[in-house]
Amino acid sequence: MSARVVHLVGARPQFPKLGVVLRAQLAAGDGEPLVVHTGQHYDPAMSDAFFAELGLPAPVAALGIGSGPHGRQTGRMLEAIEETLLGLRPDAVVVYGDTNSTLAGALAATKLGVPCAHVEAGLRSFDRSMPEELNRVAVDHLCDLLFAPTETARERLLVEGLGERTVLSGDVSAEAVLHAERIAASQSRILETLGLAPRRYAVATLHRAESTRPEVLPGLLHALATAARRLGTLVLPLHPRTTGAIAAIAPGWPETAAAAGVRIVEPLGPLDFLRLTGDASMVLTDSGGVQKEAFLLGVPCVTLRGTTEWVETVDCGANALATDAGTVDAAIGRHLAANHDRDALRARALDLYGGGRAGARIAEGIRTLSKEGRT
């Protein structure tokens, strides 16, 4: 009898990673995977489009949790996931990344005695003001099997006494980007739709809850407008949370930003966003996933944060950290002066992140874990 493995996701960055692992499991004949979607990202453009474009199977359970304060959202997820797992009776659960969905899934599984694996384990920004950092640490110490994407992540888990649970898998994002990039090249028409020429525009994203606080958001918006003046057109697919925050905190900013060269667009599906990123001159983002995708695509990045969990991107010079208009402008200047060799950045990223073979390693680990769960 095939093992019953539940893959629990809920937010946009997790969906491409899920696709890599599912394809590897299906290729190995590991049975039919079961996907549970918490609904943390509930906007159709943030969720439905990703499942459709990436060819992901429909969830066996869509919990529809939605947004809310961290405690309330995580508590509602925990209750709903526990009920779902009791009904599905899986042999193992797989969680991804560092969201509240990740934490709730790991808590529910371990409290029910179901073996749990964490994809993207061992990442640390050492900034405990980030909810994602707290989630990462807690999930790693809860889970039975930890898939470390990099040697740095593996070493961090060793320091924390978790070496026996750790597998150096490589990073699923490398495979996800390679897979989606090939499809996007033939299917996406986003540049034509927006009337953009390759390398003649930049891309920005701004979505983290911490970025949209009243004391933080105005400075970041000023930084984006400043960047647009220097880089030309700055395309900003606007997350629903950020749209609401701008309306409440800086209602006049869209008009000011448009005059500076910021072009606000609706959230994009994965293929359109990947093509938009790959052909950009530069990326500015507060997202962990986007800064790494930029590295894998060979595009220089400015991360709108003071810390990053993907330290390799900074060490290689592909990424710079900045938190206000002055430091953003300086980071842009350094990237422009460096005139990066994009092919060299891509090659370095693939080497650091496992060469595009993480999916098979993770599928093998899940197979072993699920067998243990059935004994």
CATH number of the CATH domain containing 124: 3.40.50.2000
Spatial CB neighbours of 359, under 8 Å, sequence gap ≥ 6: 20, 21, 23, 24, 172, 175
271-295 residue pLDDT tens: 999 999 999 999 999 998 899 999 9
User: Are 344 and 270 in a shared domain?
Assistant: yes
pLDDT (tens digit per residue) in 71-95: 999 999 999 999 999 999 999 999 9
Phi, psi (degrees; rounded to nearest 5) at 85: -65, -35
What one-character-per-residue DSSP string does 156-210 give?
A: HHHHTT-GGGEEE---HHHHHHHHHHHHHHHH--HHHHHT--TTSEEEEE---GG
Residue with tokens 């918006």: 221
C-alpha 133/C-alpha 97 separation (Å) is 10
pLDDT of residue 44: 58
Q: Could you tell me if 116 and 247 lie in one domain?
A: no
Are 144 and 204 members of one domain? no
Query: Do the domain assignments include residue 327?
Result: yes
Q: What is the pLDDT of residue 184?
A: 94
Instruction: Say yes or no: 132 and 241 in one domain.
Output: no
Catalytic residue among 41, 118, 207, 335: 207
Residue 375 is predicted with a pLDDT of: 55
Number of domains in the chain: 2
Contacts 24+ apart (CB under 8 A), 184-190: 184/271, 184/272, 184/274, 184/275, 184/278, 185/275, 187/271, 188/271, 188/272, 188/274, 188/275, 190/268, 190/272, 190/273, 190/275, 190/276
Same domain for 238 and 157: no
- This prediction has a pTM of 0.86
Residue 316 contacts by C-beta under 8 Å, 6 or more apart in sequence?
295, 345, 348, 349, 352
Which parts of the chain sit beneath pLDDT 70? 1, 41-47, 373-375
Please give the pLDDT value at position 330: 97
Query: Which amino acid would we find at residue 287?
Result: S
Range(s) of the domain holding residue 306: 189-352
- Are residue 139 and residue 22 in the same domain, yes or no? yes
Residue 207 known to be catalytic: yes
- What are the φ and ψ backbone dihedral angles of 62, each rounded to 5 degrees? -115, 110
Residue 127 buriedness (CB in 10 A; 0-12 / 13-18 / 19+):
middle
Judge whether 175 lies within some domain. no
